[in-house]
Amino acid sequence: MTVRVRIAPSPTGNLHIGTARTAVFNWLFARHTGGTFILRVEDTDLERSKPEYTENIQSGLQWLGLNWDEGPFFQTQRLDHYRQAIQQLLDQGLAYRCYCTSEELEQMREAQKANNQAPRYDNRHRNLSPEQEAAFLAEGRQAVIRFRIDDDRQIVWQDQIRGQMVWQGSDLGGDMVIARTPEKAEDGFGQPLYNLAVVVDDIDMAITHVIRGEDHIANTAKQILLYEALGSAVPTFAHTPLILNQEGKKLSKRDGVTSIDDFRAMGFLPQAIANYMCLLGWTPPDSTQEIFTLAEAAEQFSLERVNKAGAKFDWQKLDWINSQYLHSLPTAELVPLLIPQWQGAGYAIDLEKDGAWLASLAGLIAPSLTRLTDAVAESKLLFGDRLDLQEDGAKQLAVEGAKAVLEAALAFSQSTPELTLDEAKGEINRLTKELGLKKGVVMKSLRAGLMGTVQGPDLLQSWLLLHQKGWATPRLTQAIAQG
């Protein structure tokens, strides 16, 4: 049997972290087994589905490296298939027309509540006579289509993550609606609903394994009955744990992020997010291994090693993983990722002329980056000809000998068109001797005169960068004037 799995997002919002993680598990399973990964867009909710969300979901999956083998298929283009299946169920007597009005359904629920019963449809129109149907039609009522669910039916499946699952038909809320009321009477019935469409698609697409969030467990029980009614084999199910916040509640908008775009804007790399999502619920055979590509994870992936318990989202872990990727990224790959950050902060960059300089700057700050967005703060001191003198910098400039250091450094700077690392080092040693100061005083003063503070990245590298841009001289001049 060739494995066929799918990710079936509804385009009612941007690519959600939960959907992306479900996509990761499906992708890993498909790649591990040499199977096929399919993208199906469940866009039957016409009011809430938008093409821009479909676009966002596809580009988000691609950004994460979750390439699909078939699709995208769109449910709105498959309505005929659903209609055929509904007609088949009607013809077999497994589905029927229910003419209840919303007021009647509401009264039913109120009465159940008053009797301390769980709200459900009481199957009252299951066996209408042709005369009763005619009478409802004569009243101008329209019918939904309901699928029979026998209360005494027990539904059992071996969930690949959760083990044996047992549901009672009576817990499924009564006969379920599979099609809305028709817009035009001659249509016979209206829009097919979610559970029916999913099952028809999964049958047509020969899906062998349905791997999806545990919030679909009740749907699975209903869907198994639909597979049977449509005469089809039931696929294998695996329900993945929810992603939880630190309080153990489902990760939501209130936690500040939901969509993959949010993570992207926060400066995370796709490799890091994909890596972290593997760990959100799955434990590799070597549980100490935390950094791996999707392809590496796929080699070792199995549904057995997916946990049942909810997966707590750990920002520190994600940050750590992201920093590992950032620190090991070749400069040539890092620079294009940092340029939008620098540009976004309004730093003056000339893409044509500054290539080598930006590469040196990226190399200098790379070890301090946790997220791409950190590039702004980490390189703030290195952009521009103006010195932003801070309190600690001003204090250092007041130290005895500091001014002499800056004056000598300025003269040196002006007479040295192209500074090398060795020359810069030599100059610091020379000043230390000549001015009879401690090396620490020389270095701290130079740092304050070049960058306005005594904190920051490597002094020699910073000096070189500022010198290359012609910013060392004006800054030192300003420092001498202010100090």
DSSP H stretches of helix in 186-236:
194-204, 217-229
Cβ-based neighbours of 128, under 8 Å, separated by 6 or more: 96, 97, 99, 136
Q: Which two tokens stand for residue 340?
A: 């939008």
In whole angstroms, the minimum distance from the beta carbon of 117 to ligand GLU comes to: 29
Q: Which helix (H) or strand (E) holds 179?
A: strand 176-179
In this chain, which stretch among 4-12, 76-84, 412-420, 433-441 interacts with ligand GLU, using CB under 6 A? Answer: 4-12
In whole angstroms, the minimum distance from the beta carbon of 198 to ligand GLU comes to: 5
Cβ closer to ligand GLU: 8 or 381? 8
Q: Which two tokens stand for residue 296?
A: 């590496």
CB 34 within 8 A of CB 66: no
CA 312 – CA 246 distance, rounded (Å): 6
Written as one letter, the residue type at 345 is A
In whole angstroms, the minimum distance from the beta carbon of 246 to ligand GLU comes to: 24
CB 210 within 8 A of CB 235: yes
In whole angstroms, the minimum distance from the beta carbon of 242 to ligand GLU comes to: 12
Of the candidates 94, 83, 100, 92, the residue with the CA atom closest to the CA atom of residue 196: 83
In whole angstroms, the minimum distance from the beta carbon of 282 to ligand GLU comes to: 18
Fill in the per-residue mask, 16 to 45: x = in contact with ligand GLU (CB under 6 A), - = not in contact. --------------------------x---
Could you tell me the CA-to-CA distances from 214 to 46, 274, 275, 409, 429 in Å, in that order?
25, 20, 21, 66, 66
Cβ closer to ligand GLU: 208 or 416? 208
Cβ closer to ligand GLU: 240 or 396? 240
Q: Given candidates 3, 4, 5, 8, which one binds ligand GLU under the rule CB under 6 A?
A: 8
User: Within positions 42 to 71, which residues make up the interface with ligand GLU, using CB under 6 A?
Assistant: 42
How big, in percent rounded to 5, are the helix, strand and coil portions of the chain?
Answer: 50, 10, 35
CB 15 within 8 A of CB 55: no
Cβ closer to ligand GLU: 212 or 475? 212
Q: Is residue 259 a contact point for ligand GLU (CB under 6 A)?
A: no
Q: Is 463 exposed, middle or buried (0-12, 13-18, 19+ CB in 10 A)?
A: buried
Cβ closer to ligand GLU: 210 or 278? 210
In whole angstroms, the minimum distance from the beta carbon of 75 to ligand GLU comes to: 9
In whole angstroms, the minimum distance from the beta carbon of 24 to ligand GLU comes to: 14
Cβ-based neighbours of 404, under 8 Å, separated by 6 or more: 435
In this chain, which stretch among 7-15, 45-53, 83-91, 378-386 interacts with ligand GLU, using CB under 6 A? Answer: 7-15
User: Within positions 177 to 236, which residues make up the interface with ligand GLU, using CB under 6 A?
Assistant: 198, 212, 216
Cβ closer to ligand GLU: 8 or 441? 8
In whole angstroms, the minimum distance from the beta carbon of 247 to ligand GLU comes to: 23
Number of amino acids touching ligand GLU (CB under 6 A): 7
Cβ-based neighbours of 194, under 8 Å, separated by 6 or more: 42, 44, 219
Binding residue numbers for ATP: 253
Long-range CB contacts for residues 420-428, cutoff 8 Å, separation at least 24: 420/464, 421/460, 421/461, 421/464, 424/460, 424/463, 424/464, 425/460, 428/460
- Counted residue by residue, the chain has a size of 483
Q: Given candidates 5, 9, 292, 456, which one binds ligand GLU under the rule CB under 6 A?
A: 9
CA 264 – CA 276 distance, rounded (Å): 14
Give me the half-sphere count of Cα atoms (radius 13 Å) on the Cβ side of residue 311: 24
User: 157 has which bridge partners?
Assistant: 165
Q: Which residue has the tokens 């590298």?
A: 461
In this chain, which stretch among 6-14, 260-268, 289-297, 338-346 interacts with ligand GLU, using CB under 6 A? Answer: 6-14
Cβ closer to ligand GLU: 161 or 476? 161
Cβ closer to ligand GLU: 198 or 272? 198
The yes-or-no answer on residue 380 being catalytic is no
**Catalytic, out of 50, 253, 433, 469:** 253
In this chain, which stretch among 8-16, 231-239, 244-252, 449-457 interacts with ligand GLU, using CB under 6 A? Answer: 8-16
In this chain, which stretch among 2-10, 30-38, 80-88, 224-232 interacts with ligand GLU, using CB under 6 A? Answer: 2-10
Q: Is residue 10 a contact point for ligand GLU (CB under 6 A)?
A: yes
CB 234 within 8 A of CB 1: no
Q: Which two tokens stand for residue 266?
A: 């926060």
Q: Which residues lie near ligand GLU (CB under 6 A)?
A: 8-10, 42, 198, 212, 216
By annotation, the residues acting in catalysis are: 253
